[in-house]
Amino acid sequence: MEKLLEEFSLGLFVWQTLLFVGLLLLLKKYAWGPILSAVNEREEGIKNALSAADNAKKEMENLQADNQKLLKEARAEREAMLKEARELKNKMIDDAKVEAKDQANKLVAQAQAAIETEKKSRYCRFESTSCRPFYFYCRKSVGRRIIKQRKTRKISRVYVGRYEFKLNNYVRDKSSHSIC
Q: What is the pLDDT of residues 76-124, one digit of tens each?
A: 999 999 999 999 999 999 988 889 898 989 988 898 888 888 888 776 6
The helix or strand, by DSSP H or E, that contains position 172, with its residue range, turns out to be: helix 153-177
Q: Is residue 166 part of a domain?
A: yes
Q: Which residues contact 133 (CB under 8 A, 6 or more apart)?
A: none
Q: Is residue 119 part of a domain?
A: yes
Q: What is the pLDDT of residue 35?
A: 86
Q: What is the pLDDT of residue 33?
A: 81
Q: Is residue 107 part of a domain?
A: yes
Q: Is residue 151 part of a domain?
A: yes
- pTM greater than 0.85: no
Residues 165, 118: contact at Cβ < 8 Å? Answer: no
Whether residue 180 has pLDDT greater than 50 = no
What's the number of domains the chain is made of? 1
Q: Is residue 14 part of a domain?
A: no
**Arithmetic mean of pLDDT, 4-13:** 80
Residues 142, 159: contact at Cβ < 8 Å? Answer: yes
Q: What percent of the chain has pLDDT over 70?
A: 70
Q: Is residue 46 part of a domain?
A: no
Question: How confident is the model over 35-76, as pLDDT tens digits?
Answer: 888 999 999 999 999 999 999 999 999 999 999 999 999 999
At 178, is the secondary structure helix, strand, or coil? Answer: coil
Average per-residue pLDDT in the chain?
81
Q: Which residues contact 158 (CB under 8 A, 6 or more apart)?
A: none
Residues 163, 138: contact at Cβ < 8 Å? Answer: yes
Q: Is residue 52 part of a domain?
A: no
Q: Is residue 114 part of a domain?
A: yes
Give the span between the Cα atoms of 142 and 109, in whole angstroms.
26
Whether residue 151 has pLDDT greater than 60 = no
**What is the domain extent for residue 138?**
97-177
Whether residue 125 has pLDDT greater than 70 = no
